[in-house]
Amino acid sequence: MIGRVADLTAEVQQVLGDRDLIVFDGECVLCSGFFRFMLKKDRKERFSFALAQSELGEQIYAALGLNTRDFETNVVIVNGCIYGQLGAFAAAMSAIGLPWRALGVISVVPHRIGDPIYHLIARNRYRIFGRYDTCLLPSPETRSRFIDTGWAAAA
């Protein structure tokens, strides 16, 4: 865990409410693939989404002391706890239930082993998986799951 929602600004707390959230890099093919996977497998629609490149995403990354231009981790918020790196993946998998909950076991990988592997992939993600020229734009059906206020104004 890298933080708690209670540690974020009052404005961000108000936007989040009690939602569980996934903040992801909309230009990264791997990160966007994770978003699409979660969108499909999160049948109870537990998670809302925000792009790391959005105003809300940048506010969350800044509040957590994360780089706001090179988003090397997805941020996952579950039950008021904020996760990054492998912990974010484990928290998301655990939250969507069986059979995916079993992948939450990755959280027991020691940081000294998991972190270097995670950072290696994160630093090279565009080279390995590719990069979109523009940020992902959700379909009108998917847009309702996003909480970035920029799209609410554009919709």
Q: What's the rounded mean pLDDT across residues 15-27?
A: 94
Q: What is the mean pLDDT of the chain?
A: 88
pLDDT bracket for residue 153 (50, 70, 90): very low
pLDDT (0 to 100) of residue 48: 96
More confident of the two residues 148 and 45: 45
Query: In the beta sheet, which residues pair with residue 28?
Result: 131
pLDDT (0 to 100) of residue 136: 66
pLDDT (0 to 100) of residue 152: 41
d(CA 101, CA 99): 6
Burial class (CB in 10 A: 0-12, 13-18, 19+), 152: exposed
Look at residue 125 and tell me whether its pLDDT is greater than 50.
yes
d(CA 13, CA 6): 7
d(CA 32, CA 99): 21
Q: Which domains does the chain have, with CATH numbers?
A: 3-137 (3.40.30)
Q: What's the rounded mean pLDDT across residues 98-102?
A: 92
For the chain, the maximum distance between any two Cα atoms, rounded to a whole number of angstroms, is 44
pLDDT bracket for residue 90 (50, 70, 90): very high
List, edge to edge, every strand of the sheet that includes 81-84: 3-4, 81-84, 75-78, 20-24, 47-51
The share of the chain scoring above pLDDT 70, in percent, equals 93
Look at residue 149 and tell me whether its pLDDT is greater than 70.
no
Tens-digit pLDDT profile for residues 39-89: 999 999 999 999 999 999 999 999 999 999 888 899 999 999 999 999 999
